[in-house]
Structure 1
């Protein structure tokens, strides 16, 4: 086991198909067939990394294998990938070698692996190791979405209603004495504005993400020109 060549990709130890075959006492073809027969069990980025194109060329060059131009794709197996192969093969030799790999080959990696540089992280995302990061981002986005789309709390809902009442009263004072019908026009105008800026049809559909928008709109709300003209006309009719 001490003679096993160290194979690393972006600071993480991996094994080639040949290394697994040699270690498990079998052939490349058996490993390939084992992979194809259990394809649904193997997850790219978790159990293996498939290198092709420029990434393959860079890897072969880093391993001083740049002259092997006939290679069109290369599978590299992670610790979890090596475990799946051991499970699938089920031989004593495979299990014995897997134990050795965990206790020496991959354990050394855990003890000595340094944090990835920014370039290495970018490369890792491109080659599959970024799947963990992508999953974390996805979870974070889901949590943010749940938080933003959560219904308003009772306190927030009551505050919006109270602030709308206050703002209507502030604007109404500018018209002097107004009737209940005129006040209703003001409420209709401001509520219509809330629907427009939030995209909801009723106030009960407001969500946490709408709170700041509604408060800001309410604080700066002024009746539309049409509503103002209606109020003036209603005042004239009231005086007559």
Structure 2
């Protein structure tokens, strides 16, 4: 069952719980992701944060929603916010769910069919949606590793170097060699620029690297 969007600031939005249910993850996991990568989210573009009287009014309009009872800050996520989560989760379930949310929840019929909602099934509308999905998939493939994943790479490099030698002097020589090998293999100027889709392979590369 598709979630019901919430109209806020002339945009269709979803709550954290609604996106979590769609992406098959815990809401707490999404919020932790948000806190770790807060710089990637812009208030008013990716999300809205409701607090104080504004939140009280919102709760009053949804008195039957038990998930709102103890919330002191309510986040409402736009299509861009939902996409940002889908990118960071990088799971098939999240990718499929986002495509469904985009076409069935976030997209207003008037965006593609201003004269009649019946045109939503027109070839032009379908092509527009497919183009939009294709563009977002390309963006997903180009997305680079986030802060948490960069730390995973750092830890993996340290473990590999320490596994190759117990000499700190020699380890100091191995670190730049391994990072150079990473950059050369994935054709990036910094390990931070490794694409997320390449991360599993990069981790294996590090684990089996030989000086």
Give the TM-score taking structure 2 as reference length.
0.48
Larger C-alpha radius of gyration, 1 or 2? 1
